[in-house]
A = this chain, B = another copy of it.
Amino acid sequence: MIVAMQERATEEQIDAVIDAMVEVGVGVHRTTGASQTILAGVGPTANVDLTKFEVLPGVLNVHRISAPYKLAGRAFRPEGTVVEFANGVKIGGEKIAVMAGPCAIENQDQITTIAKCVKAAGGEFLRGGAFKPRSSPYAFQGLGIPGLKLMYEAAREQGLLTVSEVMEISQIEAMLPYTDLFQVGARNMQNFNLLRELGQIRKPVLLKRGISATIEELLLSSEYIMSGGNYDVILCERGIRTYETATRNTMDISAIPVIHKLSHLPIVGDPSHGTGRRDMVPAMAKAAVAAGADALIMEIHPNADKAVSDAAQTLYLEQFSELMGQLRVIATAVERTL
């Protein structure tokens, strides 16, 4: 950490800051220039709240110079993490994985039809929500575990893996038999108790970026899971909230290369939530692949207009199949497969 003192800081103020730094356990190196004193704190500061130094008398500003996360940082595994599933499917390797399915599992027919489509198009994961977080208490809330079973059976018939959202700790155990990849939704990215519990299981976790989370906060949240011993974390960019209203969210494609630089964890693009509009999904799916995404997750439905939720952003099955062909060409262009 670095503390820059104001030009007119007194020696007493400087000493008080040095004392406060020593108290949190860092060694202090002092540099005094013609007009300003700089205090460099060397030592572990990941668990120090730096903002408290900002309001000490005589302080101009304070900077963290090391990342506040450790296990999630690139340096922890410079070669990158590849998450491997029981059937040999990998995320983070040369092949770009595809996860597709409905926003909400509705019934057996629906999910079976979709599973066949995902398989035929070359996808690896069937996605579908059994528990739905909805802004309005009057909206459909999901089928729960019975729905998840339907999806699991449909997936396994096709040799697919399943990914589904867990909304609270009490659901984890019941979901375990039917879930290959536990999704943490954007609204729960900082539900730290849930993250901590997911650090205790031995199944991979798909952690979605909150709609107003910085990339640093996303990595800190992944650290919660990893610090429990579960290193199989996959991150997901699904759009952030900005002032622009032409799309539901602004999909931050640059998060993909940024995360690849800062972290070893794989990163997935979600163009469905990223845009909120069916007609924008193909362009953004292509962009995500071109920018280096390790996987894609998309919403599809045989009768997309009548999907019980997220209808506007859901692709028709034919659209999905056609898009998969186009994505394969882009993947080749960036020297990967799909």
Contact = CB atoms under 8 A, between A and B. Distances in A.
Interface of A: 2, 4, 6-8, 20, 23, 27, 29, 31, 33-34, 36, 38, 40, 42-43, 46-47, 49, 51-56, 60-61, 63, 65-69, 75, 133-139, 167-170, 187-188, 190-194, 196, 210-212, 214-217, 220-221, 223-224, 227, 240-248, 250-258, 261-262, 274-280, 283-284, 286-292, 305-307, 309-313, 326, 329-330, 332-334
Contacts of A67: 60
A250 B250 contact: yes
A252 B244 contact: yes
A286 B136 contact: no
Contacts of A46: 136, 138
Nearest to A185: B190
26 contacts: A2-B63, A8-B75, A33-B43, A34-B43, A38-B65, A46-B138, A49-B309, A51-B313, A55-B278, A55-B305, A56-B305, A136-B220, A136-B223, A191-B191, A212-B241, A240-B242, A242-B243, A247-B254, A250-B254, A251-B253, A257-B284, A283-B291, A287-B290, A290-B330, A330-B330, A330-B333
Contact of A275 (B20, B246, B254, B332): B254
A52 B240 CA distance: 20
Contacts of A188: 191
Nearest to A5: B65
A244 B214 contact: yes
Given A8-B75, A34-B43, A254-B283, 8 more contacts: A23-B306, A49-B310, A53-B312, A56-B305, A137-B224, A212-B243, A214-B246, A257-B280
Contacts of A306: 23
Nearest to A309: B49
Contacts of A55: 277-279, 305, 311-312
Nearest to A226: B137
Listed from nearest, the 4 A-B pairs whose CB atoms lie closest are A212-B212, A33-B42, A52-B311, A4-B65
